[in-house]
């Protein structure tokens, strides 16, 4: 489908199952409607001097104006909603059960080696594998007692680490760090 029209104008159906045997569907999304999705009308979104299409290098900047967008401010709001729902008015909170919040928090702070499925080899996926802000993406260990609750994003030569950093004594900060590679 890709992230450009026409594929970006709808979502594919998704089904959630109560067990791994997929014996009974517990929740299914409605079928795609084909309705047009409103565009952000972004300007100044061309980057670079050349870009790759397939295996060919195309001279000229890549136009990102029609690509998927998740603004940094909104990413920070979602991070806050997952980690500190009680700080938001009830109408702005996510409709999640306490167990759902706990699962999300565990996954966001988890080192690859702690994952029960899939299993990750620590030699290839160190504890800081996706913890770019403090760990350098696997280059250094996190300081003792530090946990990083984060979600990274990588696309079109850009990298972001939307993170909340906590110590045993409390929080260091909530921050996002975008990089251009």
> How many H-runs (helices) and E-runs (strands) does the chain carry?
3, 9
pLDDT tens digit sequence for 79-132: 999 999 999 999 999 999 999 999 999 999 998 888 888 889 888 888 888 888
Q: What is the pLDDT of residue 21?
A: 65
Name the helix (H) or strand (E) containing 106. helix 98-109
Q: What is the pLDDT of residue 72?
A: 86
Per-residue model confidence as pLDDT tens for the chain (181 residues): 455 566 655 666 666 666 666 666 666 666 666 665 566 677 778 889 999 989 999 999 998 887 777 888 899 999 999 999 999 999 999 999 999 999 999 999 998 888 888 889 888 888 888 888 877 766 677 888 888 899 998 888 888 899 998 887 765 555 555 554 4
Residue 98: φ, ψ to 5°: -50, -40
pTM over 0.85: no
Q: What is the pLDDT of residue 167?
A: 84
Supply 110's token pair: 């988890």
CA-wise closest residue to 83 among 66, 73, 96: 96
**What is the DSSP track for 23-78?**
-SEEEEPPPP--PPPPP----S-EESSEEEETTEEEES-EE-TTS----HHHHHHH
Determine the 3-state secondary structure of 153 from DSSP.
Answer: strand
Rounded Cα gap, residues 109 and 149, in angstroms? 4
Residue pair 177/160 in contact (Cβ under 8 Å)? The answer is yes
């Amino acid at each position: 489908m890709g992230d450009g029209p026409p594929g970006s104008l709808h979502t594919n159906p998704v089904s959630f199952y109560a067990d791994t045997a997929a014996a009974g569907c517990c929740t299914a999304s409605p079928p795609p409607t084909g309705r047009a999705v409103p565009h952000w009308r972004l300007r100044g979104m061309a980057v670079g001097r050349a870009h790759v299409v397939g295996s060919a290098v195309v001279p000229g900047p890549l136009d990102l104006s029609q690509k998927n967008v998740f603004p940094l401010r909104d990413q920070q709001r979602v991070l806050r909603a997952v980690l500190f729902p009680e700080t938001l008015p009830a109408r702005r909170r996510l409709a999640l059960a306490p167990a759902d919040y706990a699962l999300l928090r565990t996954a966001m702070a988890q080192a690859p080696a702690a994952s029960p499925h899939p299993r990750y080899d620590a030699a290839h996926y160190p504890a800081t594998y996706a913890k770019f802000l403090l760990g350098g993406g696997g280059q250094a260990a996190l300081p003792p007692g530090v946990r990083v609750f984060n979600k990274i994003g990588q696309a079109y030569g850009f990298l972001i680490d939307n993170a909340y950093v906590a110590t045993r004594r409390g929080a260091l900060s909530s921050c996002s760090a975008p990089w251009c590679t």
